[in-house]
Amino acid sequence: MTSKSTALLLGGLLPALIYGGSAVFQKMSTNLGISLSAYLVATGVGIVLVGAAYYWVDDAFSFSLKSGLYAALFGVTWGVATGLVAYALLNFEISISQLVPLYNMNTLVAVLLALVIFSEWKDVNTIKLLCGSALIVGGAVLVANA
């Protein structure tokens, strides 16, 4: 297996399966009436536990103020978005099967930002990327109206 294949498996396919499965836990939690704040705190506890477990697996701990700030900003943006999903689940009768395809259009935002900020447009096939993006949007529209 090539290095790129390993990276796509570990950083792409497995997280997709795990993120997909996590939506079930999200819906189960909100179905039981957890408050939004308690939901986010419990989620944070889970993240801390996973961080500690990763530390034991890979004990390399490097940190700088700048890298920590970016990680914290990621956490804030992820927490706000996750809170909005939980809010919608708690306050509206919406199915997780319709929400997930919509909020996973975040892929398009991430792709656009990466193309611009990190100049990744130099390393990808733009035509394939645009075709795939159109399919993502089309699929999200179909699922949202299901």
List, for residues 24-50, the tens digit of each pLDDT value: 999 999 999 999 999 999 999 999 999
Which residue, among 84, 73, 72, 74, has the nearest Cα to 39 in the 3D structure? 84
Confidence (pLDDT) at 102:
85
Confidence label for 118 from pLDDT (cuts 50, 70 and 90): very high
- Which amino acid is residue 37, in one-letter code? S
Maximum CA pair distance of the chain?
47
Q: Which residues contact 26 (CB under 8 A, 6 or more apart)?
A: 85, 86, 89, 96
Confidence label for 141 from pLDDT (cuts 50, 70 and 90): confident
- Across the range 48-69, mean pLDDT stands at 90
Which residue, among 6, 46, 12, 3, has the nearest Cα to 26 in the 3D structure? 46
* 8 Å CB contact between 85 and 99: yes
* 8 Å CB contact between 144 and 102: yes
Q: Please tell me which of 8-22, 39-53, 127-141 the model is most confident about, judged by mean pLDDT.
A: 39-53
Count Cβ atoms below 10 Å from residue 27 Cβ, excluding itself. Answer: 19
